[in-house]
Structure 1
Amino acid sequence: MGRGRAKAKQTKVARELKYHSPNTDLTALQRELAGAGKSNHDFDDDYKEYVDDDDEDHADEDPDPWVRPTR
Structure 2
Amino acid sequence: MGRGRAKAKQTRVARELKYSSPNTDLTALQRELGGQQSTYSAHVAQDDDAEDDAYDDKWAPDDDADDGWAATR
TM-score between both structures, scaled by the size of structure 1: 0.46
- The structure with the largest helix share of the pair is 1
| Highest RCO, 1 vs 2 (Cα 8 Å, sep ≥ 6) | 2
